[in-house]
């Protein structure tokens, strides 16, 4: 799948998870929307992992960035799953903020990976044009 498509899927999943999460935060926990929120979060995490993996395979890819993508995504899933165990609205505000910030961090890491991949694709296209 192309980097551009995965990047768009990641952004859409983030926007959906964020909007639903903010609705929950205002106390409107619409139960049927919680699995949709979780699915959007999981799609976001897999997109970030995929982008992290792809950029690590570049000739000048960063293993460190791929590890950050892996760990951040894992933490989003672990903290997200722990939210579910708390009755609605009773979660500690600190955990809620950490949950939100991890989601924002994960999408930021995904964006860095995607821009590295797009830059590399642009550079190799320019190289091909020069050698023609």
Site residues for ligand HEM per CB under 6 A: 14, 17-18, 21-22, 24-25, 29, 34, 37-38, 41-42, 44, 76-77, 80-81, 83-84, 88, 91, 96, 99-100, 103
Nearer to ligand HEM, 26 or 130 (CB): 26
Nearest to 36 by CA among 9, 15, 17: 17
> How many other β-carbons are positioned within 10 Å of the β-carbon of residue 97?
11
In angstroms, what is the minimal distance from the CB of 110 to ligand HEM?
A: 10
Pairwise CA distance, residues 66 & 94, whole Å: 27
In angstroms, what is the minimal distance from the CB of 122 to ligand HEM?
A: 28
In angstroms, what is the minimal distance from the CB of 105 to ligand HEM?
A: 9
Contact between 42 and 77 under an 8 Å Cβ cutoff? The reply is yes
């Amino acid at each position: 799948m192309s980097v551009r498509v995965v990047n768009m899927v990641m952004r859409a999943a983030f926007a959906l998870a964020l909007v639903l999460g903010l609705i929950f935060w205002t106390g409107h926990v619409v139960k049927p929307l919680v699995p949709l929120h979780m699915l959007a979060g999981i799609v976001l995490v897999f997109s970030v992992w995929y982008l992290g993996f792809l950029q690590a395979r570049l000739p000048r890819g960063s293993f460190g960035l791929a590890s950050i993508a892996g760990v951040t995504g894992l933490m989003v899933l672990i903290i997200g799953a722990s939210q579910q165990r708390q009755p609605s609205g009773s979660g500690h505000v600190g955990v809620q903020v950490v949950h939100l910030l991890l989601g924002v961090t994960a999408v930021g890491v995904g964006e860095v990976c995607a821009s590295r991949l797009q830059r590399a694709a642009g550079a190799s296209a320019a190289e091909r044009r020069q050698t023609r």
